[in-house]
């Protein structure tokens, strides 16, 4: 039994905006359960606002895949600091959220000092680097996965795992999704409203945003009444997007959620990542882009990746439900052709919307922050 009077100390580790948001939700859920818990760790502004004492703001340095190499020195300095902290401070539980390349080091440090560790968001070992399953077994006491098929995959490999639902959909009632299907009964592509979502990380915006604007310009040439909107996570990101606007492109800039923006649009051009699931939960057809190093992909990436598709939407569907241009694209022409092909067929748009809702419904049936909070409480003994 837990000691109701004891104050527990939890160390949280997040290195990206998504992990920052997930951990903030977990902190809030634990506080609502009335336990006396103190939170310390590394992460971002949402965790700090929720009540976590930050040793380091790692989220502002977030980078993706190959671009992360430029931050190696910084992250190793942070890891050394965390090791020292865990050795000299009492921590009852370590929760590492996503970012496995970084958080495996944190989990290893926790193991060395005898502190139990919960992995919140399963590393995608089923997609690549499957050999790290041994590390996960050694460092992980409990694993929370956010994609339904992952539970069986990790369980078969000896991991104590639980599917908790997807935290991006925590605030969405599961029975509400059915009402998000778009029918396109009165849709006119000449007045289409398109959401452009270049991601939240500066590196993504630098590589994707110019191409998205060029795509929009091409679409405007065919659909004279087309309107474009882009969503930013905060005022700083919005300003950066506005400053990077190219000649001939017009767009409405807003600070809003990805899902609400997609729900108000007919189509979305979105950077690969968790945002694609939010777009899917809005029942909004999309095309998915990512731009990484072509050279490094051919030298290394394609030898590591084991899945046929790279976007979460198509991985969950088990087929190309929506067009994906990942890990890179060499021209916007095929992308423009795919978008126009879809916009010119409202029946296909409606069918895609229905399939996207069906795909995301299982992810919204559980509330991840509540499920993970309950697991945390069982581990605090």
Chain segment 82-92, per-residue pLDDT in tens: 999 999 999 99
- The dihedral over CA atoms of 276, 165, 163, 138, expressed in degrees to the nearest 10, equals 70
Q: Which CATH architecture fits 177-364?
A: 3-Layer(aba) Sandwich (3.40)
pLDDT at residue 75, as a whole number: 85
Q: Which of 197-211, 293-307, 313-327 has the lowest mean pLDDT?
A: 293-307
Q: What is the pLDDT of residues 256-280, one digit of tens each?
A: 889 999 999 999 999 998 899 999 9
Q: Which residues contact 320 (CB under 8 A, 6 or more apart)?
A: 309, 314
Residues 327, 301 contacting (CB under 8 angstroms): yes
Task: Look up residue 7 and give its DSSP letter.
Answer: P
Handedness of CA 75, 76, 79, 81 (dihedral sign): negative
pLDDT at 66: 39
SS3 (DSSP) at 305? coil
Please give the model's pTM, rounded to 2 decimal places. Answer: 0.85
Question: Looking at the predicted structure, is the pLDDT value of residue 2 above 60?
Answer: no
Q: In the chain, which residues fall in CATH 3.40.50.2000?
A: 8-165+366-379, 177-364
Domain 8-165+366-379 architecture: 3-Layer(aba) Sandwich (3.40)
Q: Would you say 8 and 93 are in contact if contact means Cβ atoms under 8 Å apart? A: yes
What is the C-alpha to C-alpha distance for residues 255 and 25, in angstroms, rounded to an integer? 20
pLDDT digits (tens, 9 = 90+) for 10-49: 999 999 888 999 999 999 999 999 889 999 999 999 999 9
- Whether residue 327 is preceded by a cis peptide bond, meaning omega within 30 degrees of 0, is yes
Angle in degrees, CA 349, 351, 352, rounded to 5 = 65
Local structure of 224: helix, strand or coil: coil
8 Å CB contact between 132 and 100 = yes
The stretch 129-150 carries a mean pLDDT of: 93
Q: What is the pLDDT of residues 95-136, one digit of tens each?
A: 999 999 899 999 999 999 999 999 999 998 987 778 889 999
Of the CA atoms within 13 Å of residue 223, those in its CB half-sphere come to 22
């Amino acid at each position: 039994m837990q000691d109701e009077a004891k104050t527990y100390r939890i160390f949280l580790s997040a290195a990206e905006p998504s992990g920052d948001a997930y951990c903030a939700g977990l902190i809030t859920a634990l506080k609502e359960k009335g336990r006396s818990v103190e939170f310390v760790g590394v992460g971002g502004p949402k965790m700090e606002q929720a009540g976590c004492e930050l040793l380091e703001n790692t989220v502002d340095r977030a980078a993706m895949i190959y671009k992360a190499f430029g931050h190696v020195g910084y992250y190793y300095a942070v890891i050394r600091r965390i090791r020292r902290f865990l050795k000299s401070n009492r921590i009852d539980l370590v929760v590492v959220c996503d970012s496995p390349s970084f958080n495996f080091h944190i989990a290893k440090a926790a193991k060395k000092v005898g502190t139990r560790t919960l992995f919140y968001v399963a590393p995608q070992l089923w997609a690549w680097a499957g050999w790290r399953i041994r590390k996960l077994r050694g460092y992980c006491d409990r694993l929370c996965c956010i994609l339904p098929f992952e539970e069986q995959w990790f369980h078969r490999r000896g991991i104590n795992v639980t599917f908790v639902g997807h935290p991006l959909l925590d605030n969405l009632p599961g029975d509400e999704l059915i009402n998000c299907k778009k029918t396109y009964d009165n849709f006119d592509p000449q007045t289409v409203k398109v959401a452009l979502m270049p991601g939240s990380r500066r590196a993504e915006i630098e590589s994707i945003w110019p191409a998205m604007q060029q795509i929009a310009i091409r679409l405007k040439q065919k659909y004279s009444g087309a309107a474009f909107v882009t969503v930013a996570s905060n005022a700083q990101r919005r300003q950066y997007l506005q400053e990077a606007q190219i000649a001939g492109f017009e767009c409405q800039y807003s600070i809003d959620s990805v899902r609400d923006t997609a729900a108000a649009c007919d189509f979305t051009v979105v950077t690969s990542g968790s945002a694609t699931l939010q777009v899917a939960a809005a029942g909004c057809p999309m095309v998915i882009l990512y731009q990484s190093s072509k050279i490094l992909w051919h030298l290394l990436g394609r030898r590591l990746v084991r899945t046929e598709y790279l976007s979460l939407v198509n991985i969950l569907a088990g087929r190309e439900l929506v067009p994906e241009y990942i890990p890179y694209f060499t021209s916007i022409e095929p992308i423009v052709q795919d978008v126009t092909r879809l916009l010119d067929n409202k029946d296909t748009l409606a069918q895609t919307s229905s399939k996207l809702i069906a795909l995301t419904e299982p992810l919204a049936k559980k509330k991840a922050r509540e499920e993970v909070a309950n697991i945390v409480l069982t581990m605090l003994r």
